Amino acid sequence: MFGIPGKQAVTLTDKATQQIAKLMAKDGHQGLRIGVKKGGCAGMEYTMEYVDEVDPMDEVVEQDGARVMIAPMAQMFLFGTEIDYEISLLEASFKFRNPNVTEACGCGESIKFDETLSASK
């Protein structure tokens, strides 16, 4: 939808690919759908949910057995994002390195996007 021919909308690190493939295999899901919603102290939050059926409007990214679907309303906000999976002493979670984010709250759960993206909708 908002892609550049020959370039994936998002990229996955090896750790993210392995974790997503593991989650897909565990319960037979078709992949993970990534989106954004209003909320949090900075204004927007990422969403992730298991998907059992691919929506034809989703942007689909497949890499080494992992499949990520980007919800239509989130595509312009997520283009160019790298998704990683990090494990620390206290948590294991997906991390988004998104060039479209202009601000993030201290906890890292809430983000604000470049306002020109919202204006171009």
Task: Give the pLDDT of residue 1.
Answer: 46
The phi, psi pair for 40, rounded to 5°, reads: 80, 170
Strands 31-38 and 66-70, by their bridges, are: parallel
pLDDT tens column, 103-119:
777 665 667 776 666 55
Mean pLDDT of the chain: 84
Low-confidence ranges of the chain (pLDDT < 70): 1-7, 42, 106-110, 114-121
What pLDDT score does 102 carry? 80
- Reported as type and span, the H/E element at residue 99 is none
Separation in Å, CA 57 to CA 46, 54, 70, 91, 95: 18, 8, 9, 33, 24
CB 40 within 8 A of CB 105: yes
CATH number belonging to the domain at 10-116, selected among 2.60.40.10, 3.30.200.20, 3.50.50.60, 2.60.300.12: 2.60.300.12
pLDDT at 31: 92
The domain limits of the chain are: 10-116
Task: State the Cα–Cα distance between residues 11 and 56, nearest whole angstrom.
Answer: 20
